[in-house]
Chains A and B, each alone.
Chain A
Amino acid sequence: MQLSASSRHRGALALLSMPAVLFTAMMVVFPILYTIWLSFRTAPLGHATQFVGLANYSQLAHAPQFWNSIKVSLTLYVISLALQLTGGTYLAVLLFQAKRMPAILRSVLISPFMVPPVVVGMMFLVILDPSLGAANWVLSLFGIGPSAWLASPEWVIPTVALIDTWQWMPFVALIVLGGLQSLPPSVYEAAKIDGAPSRLVFWRITLPLLLPTLATAAILRTVDLLRFFDIIYVTTQGGPLNASDTLNIYGFHIGFELFQFGYASALAMTLTAMVFGVVLALNRLRKAVDW
């Protein structure tokens, strides 16, 4: 009796998740398997696919443009993540010290990451225009000379990193603020009584206790940053001179402009493996710094 009731219970639960399972199998699992399969084949348009072994992967390894994309993606990743974590922590500490968060301030903070990336690209195209943009005008107010921003091969990646930081630093700040608020206040009082000056309290108590939260924020940003696509596609399409040709931009180019699906699949798999590797490492780190 008991057993049949609980097995009926389990059956009902399985039934509840069935639609999602089927959908996932169709839209997520199947494509992943298909891409793996495809990465070992050529798939020329209008012809049957052919098995080519590791040819796609070795082609990747020998393509300078691939290595360029790796460099671009990693540079963008490191700069953006560093800016967003430090900036986000700084902003979060300010918010924490202010104690209250008026609705207007919270609205300002969530606005950037609610704006569609395409729109972000459009608005920064206008603001960062090398000759007529507002950014150069603001710089000139401080006596700084104009920059070509997105049009400069040297500056395009730092500029994209700045744009992404504008969009996501407030998000990181909100996560870190949540972390700050969940720390027990009596620990700070204990540190005061132990005689730690406030700067030391930050470095010795607050920051170590925040590390797991920061690691979480880093993971959330990593998955987006390593796959960077929208804003670059809208603004530079990987240019100038491939200087912003991230892995995902490069992959899109191969797949949907050159229609080399096999080669593009190999690239997508490589990128996925990269993201997976970095996330796993960060997750290790998070566990290691957990208290």
Chain B
Amino acid sequence: MSDRTLSQPRREQLMRVLVIAQLVILAIGILFPIAWMVTSSFKSSADVTAYPPTLLFRPTLDNYTRLLQTTPFFSYARNSLIESGSSTLIGLLLGVPAAYAASITRASWPALVTLSARMAPGTLFLIPWYIVFRDLGMVGTYGALILTQAAITLPIVIWVLLPAFDAIPRSILEAAGVDGCGILRSLWRVALPLVSSGLVIATILAFVFSWNYFLFALVLSDENTKPLVVAAFNYIGEGSTDWGGLMAAATLIALPPLVLAIAVQRWLVAGLTLGAVKG
């Protein structure tokens, strides 16, 4: 009996150590590919293809300088920025008022649209878009790319903000109405400040997913409007032996979404899992 008293807290301690050990192992496993990509990007061409892999190596910026010198990396980056930034802006401009109106009227169409945009494969949209943009001579223009990417960002904005607006007690909005706010003013002065963290999340997620989205730009961009993800894909085809350069490009492309996501990590998790959890 008495040695059970002793072992009880010790067993709990042991359990805790086991839990943390498993988490550490999993975290290393999750981090490994990203870490491998980043370290490879700093390896010389001899180190990067060495087998067994070199773990200790003299870091070099060669891959980055070569990448920036031999490819128009910055103009692709500018394309990505223009397309993701503009489509995010459109997504917000259209999505915020729509989500607000839908939350108040309990309209279900935005949720339906979000759903169907999520369920249909990209090719389903791409075929008609391609035909129409081709007939309008818009293939390869920023306009076509921004419009199609906005079809990604709008559902994200609605998906994140609809539950956020729904969570505002109706009485607060009614109070704003009694205080003399019109619809627009109660959106601007009362509702938006209350969902400010949702707004940040919606913006960042919209930007990140638009930045990452590949299929539409693969078909609809040309050399002058190509975003980074498409340029990187072409780079694989051209120089698949240049692993260092490939990993440098991969690292640079992944950097903006990672930085943005980690900056708001705490809210991001809440925003992503919103509505997914009962209660």
Q: Do chains A and B touch in the complex (CB under 8 A)?
A: yes
Interchain CA distance A182-B102 in the complex, whole Å: 27
Give a binary string over A62-93; 1 marks a CB under 8 Å from any B CB, 0 the rest: 00000000000000000000000000000100
Instruction: Find out whether the CB atom of B261 lies under 8 angstroms from the CB atom of A110.
Output: yes
- Given A116-B257, A134-B53, A166-B30, answer yes or no on A31-B124 (Cβ-Cβ < 8 Å): yes
- Given A114-B257, A122-B236, answer yes or no on A268-B127 (Cβ-Cβ < 8 Å): yes
Cβ contact of B100, chosen from A16, A175, A268, A276, cutoff 8 A: A16
Instruction: Find out whether the CB atom of A116 lies under 8 angstroms from the CB atom of B254.
Output: yes
- Given A9-B183, A94-B19, A110-B269, answer yes or no on A229-B124 (Cβ-Cβ < 8 Å): no
Kindly provide the distance from the CB of A34 to the nearest chain B CB, expressed in whole angstroms: 4
What residues on A are CB-neighbors of B254 within 8 Å?
114-116, 119
Decide if B141 is an interface residue (CB 8 Å cutoff).
no
Cβ contact of A107, chosen from B120, B121, B262, cutoff 8 A: B262
Decide if B198 is an interface residue (CB 8 Å cutoff).
no
Cβ contact of B127, chosen from A123, A178, A261, cutoff 8 A: A261
What residues on A are CB-neighbors of B250 within 8 Å?
119, 122-123
Cβ contact of B119, chosen from A9, A119, A223, cutoff 8 A: A223
Instruction: Find out whether the CB atom of B51 lies under 8 angstroms from the CB atom of A269.
Output: no
What residues on A are CB-neighbors of B258 within 8 Å?
111, 114-115
Interchain CA distance A132-B51 in the complex, whole Å: 6
What residues on B are CB-neighbors of A116 within 8 Å?
211-212, 214, 229, 253-254, 257
What residues on B are CB-neighbors of A105 within 8 Å?
23, 27
* B33, closest chain A residue (CB): A123
Residues of A88-114 contacting chain B, CB below 8 A:
91, 94-95, 97-98, 103, 105-112, 114
* B28, closest chain A residue (CB): A108
Kindly provide the distance from the CB of B100 to the nearest chain A CB, expressed in whole angstroms: 6
What residues on B are CB-neighbors of A275 within 8 Å?
119-121
Decide if A256 is an interface residue (CB 8 Å cutoff).
yes
Interface 9-residue window, one of B1-9, B60-68, B90-98: B90-98
Give a binary string over A1-29; 1 marks a CB under 8 Å from any B CB, 0 the rest: 00000000110111011011101100110
| Chain A interface residue number, banded | 35 or more
Interchain CA distance A247-B277 in the complex, whole Å: 31
Kindly provide the distance from the CB of A66 to the nearest chain B CB, expressed in whole angstroms: 14
What residues on A are CB-neighbors of B13 within 8 Å?
none
Interchain CA distance A251-B90 in the complex, whole Å: 29
Give a binary string over B250-271; 1 marks a CB under 8 Å from any A CB, 0 the rest: 1001100110111001101100
Cβ contact of A118, chosen from B19, B20, B229, B279, cutoff 8 A: B229
Instruction: Find out whether the CB atom of A127 lies under 8 angstroms from the CB atom of B33.
Output: yes
Decide if A238 is an interface residue (CB 8 Å cutoff).
no
Instruction: Find out whether the CB atom of A108 lies under 8 angstroms from the CB atom of B273.
Output: no
- Given A14-B101, A20-B110, A137-B52, answer yes or no on A108-B27 (Cβ-Cβ < 8 Å): yes
- Given A103-B265, A122-B246, A251-B121, answer yes or no on A290-B278 (Cβ-Cβ < 8 Å): yes
* A222, closest chain B residue (CB): B119
What residues on B are CB-neighbors of A227 within 8 Å?
121-122
Of the candidates B29, B98, B127, the one having the most CB atoms from chain A within 10 angstroms of its own CB is B127
Instruction: Find out whether the CB atom of A216 lies under 8 angstroms from the CB atom of B30.
Output: no
- Given A108-B27, A115-B34, answer yes or no on A179-B277 (Cβ-Cβ < 8 Å): yes
Decide if A205 is an interface residue (CB 8 Å cutoff).
no
Interchain residue pairs with CB less than 8 A apart (11):
A12-B182, A16-B101, A17-B97, A20-B94, A21-B98, A116-B254, A123-B36, A179-B277, A256-B130, A268-B124, A272-B119
Name B's A-contacting residues (CB within 8 A): 15-16, 19-20, 22-23, 26-27, 29-31, 33-34, 36-37, 40, 49-53, 90, 93-95, 97-98, 100-102, 104-105, 107, 109-110, 113, 116-131, 147-148, 150-151, 154, 158, 182-184, 187, 208, 211-212, 214-215, 218-219, 229-230, 232-233, 236, 240, 243, 246-247, 249-250, 253-254, 257-258, 260-262, 265-266, 268-269, 272-273, 276-279
Name A's B-contacting residues (CB within 8 A): 9-10, 12-14, 16-17, 19-21, 23-24, 27-28, 30-32, 34-35, 38, 43, 91, 94-95, 97-98, 103, 105-112, 114-127, 131-132, 134, 137, 140, 166, 170-171, 174-175, 178-179, 182-183, 212-213, 216-217, 220, 223, 227, 229-230, 233-234, 247-248, 251-252, 255-256, 261, 264-265, 267-269, 271-272, 275-276, 279, 290
